[in-house]
């Protein structure tokens, strides 16, 4: 559809959001990602039954951890949409990008840069 969406987003394709482990999310932040969001199928429409539900639980788990350690739980998010809904995908990308811009860069990234210097 050639819709425009923000540039700072790296898409990592997985067969189902249920493949995404809590550790993938945490390691992404450890390595300096400013935000992580998962885009999965609509609830009830998961090809593997409940992969997207598990993904949502893991996002919640990661959110709690990120809040406790001071990185910010709002940096991680779970979205559900139909794989044919291109405009909504672009909307979510814009929304998440806007949220992360407002929150600023990942403090871990800044801390690593300072350490390396």
Partner 1 sequence: MIVADKKPIEEIIENVKNNKDILILGCNECVTVCEAGGKKEVGVLASALRMYFLNHGHEVRIDEITLQRQCDHEYLEEIRDRIDQYDAVVSLACGVGVQFTAEKYHATPIYPGVNTCFLGVTEARGLWTERCQACGQCILATTGGICPVSRCAKRILNGPCGGSTGGKCEINKEIDCAWQLIIDRLTALDRLDDYETLCPIKDWSTDRAGGPRKVSREDLQL
Residues that bind partner 1 (CB under 8 A): 21-23, 26-27, 29-30, 65-66, 68-71, 107-108, 111-112, 114-115
What residues pair up with 76 in beta bridges, in sequence order?
36
CB distance 62 to 55 below 8 Å? no
The least CB distance from residue 57 to partner 1, in Å, is 10
Judged by beta carbon, residue 7 or residue 116, the one nearer partner 1 is 116
Give min distance, CB of 32 to partner 1, in A: 10
Identity of the residue, 3 or 69, whose beta carbon is nearer to partner 1 in the bound complex: 69
| CB nearer to partner 1: pick between 46 and 93 | 46
Which among 26, 110, 10, 12 is positioned nearest to 68, based on CA atoms? 26
> Residue 74 carries which DSSP code?
G
CA 46 to chain centre: 18
Pair of tokens at residue 16 = 């189902």
Query: How far apart are CB 88 and partner 1 at their closest, in Å?
Result: 31
In the complex with partner 1, the residue whose CB is nearer, 7 or 12, is: 12
Distance separating alpha carbons of residues 56 and 38, to the nearest angstrom: 9
């Amino acid at each position: 559809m050639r819709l425009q969406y923000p540039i700072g987003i790296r898409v990592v394709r997985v067969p189902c959001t249920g493949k995404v482990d809590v550790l993938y999310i945490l390691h992404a932040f450890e390595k300096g990602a400013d935000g992580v969001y998962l885009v999965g199928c609509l609830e009830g429409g998961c090809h593997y039954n409940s992969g997207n539900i598990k993904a949502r639980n893991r996002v919640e788990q990661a959110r709690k951890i990120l809040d406790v350690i001071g990185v910010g739980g709002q940096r991680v998010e779970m979205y559900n949409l139909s794989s044919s809904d291109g405009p909504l995908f672009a909307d979510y990308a814009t929304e998440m990008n806007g949220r992360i811009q407002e929150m600023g860069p990942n403090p871990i990234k800044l801390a690593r840069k300072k350490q390396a210097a």
